[in-house]
């Protein structure tokens, strides 16, 4: 199954609360939060991780219907050497994600 997510970076600029600790605690694992804080562009890194979580959730939902989005349970295996390719773990299943980024958008496809 395939899932995808796209973030319009111009629109996302208006989301000023994304890096507040309370929001990060609800969305990201401890490792993801560390990766965001240590990145060169924390705001963009948050949205990169977010698109992966959304795309993974959509792919998983095509296999097993679930009616609640629980981003904290979706874990990005952080590999700083390959930022645009990722292994994602969710409910004992492995998903692989490919992300493309430019000045306008972040787009992730997950299978």
Nearest to 33 by CA among 45, 44, 41: 45
Say if residues 103 and 13 touch (Cβ distance below 8 Å): no
pLDDT in tens, 48-98: 999 999 998 888 888 777 766 777 778 777 665 456 878 888 888 888 999
pLDDT in tens, 82-95: 568 788 888 888 88
55's tokens: 């795309």
84's tokens: 């645009």
Say if residues 63 and 1 touch (Cβ distance below 8 Å): yes
| pTM listed for this prediction | 0.83
Task: Put residue 71 in one of left, alpha, beta given phi > 0 → left and psi -120 to 50 → alpha.
Answer: alpha
């Amino acid at each position: 199954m395939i899932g995808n997510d796209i973030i319009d970076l111009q629109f996302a600029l208006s989301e000023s609360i994304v890096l507040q600790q309370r929001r990060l605690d609800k969305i990201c694992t401890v490792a993801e939060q560390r990766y965001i804080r240590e990145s060169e562009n924390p705001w963009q890194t948050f949205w990169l991780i977010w698109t992966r979580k959304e795309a993974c959730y959509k792919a998983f939902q095509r296999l097993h219907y679930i009616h609640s989005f629980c981003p904290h349970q979706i874990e990005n295996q952080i590999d700083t050497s390959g930022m645009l390719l990722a292994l994602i773990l969710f409910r004992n299943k492995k998903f692989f994600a490919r992300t493309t980024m430019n000045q306008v958008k972040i787009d992730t496809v997950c299978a």
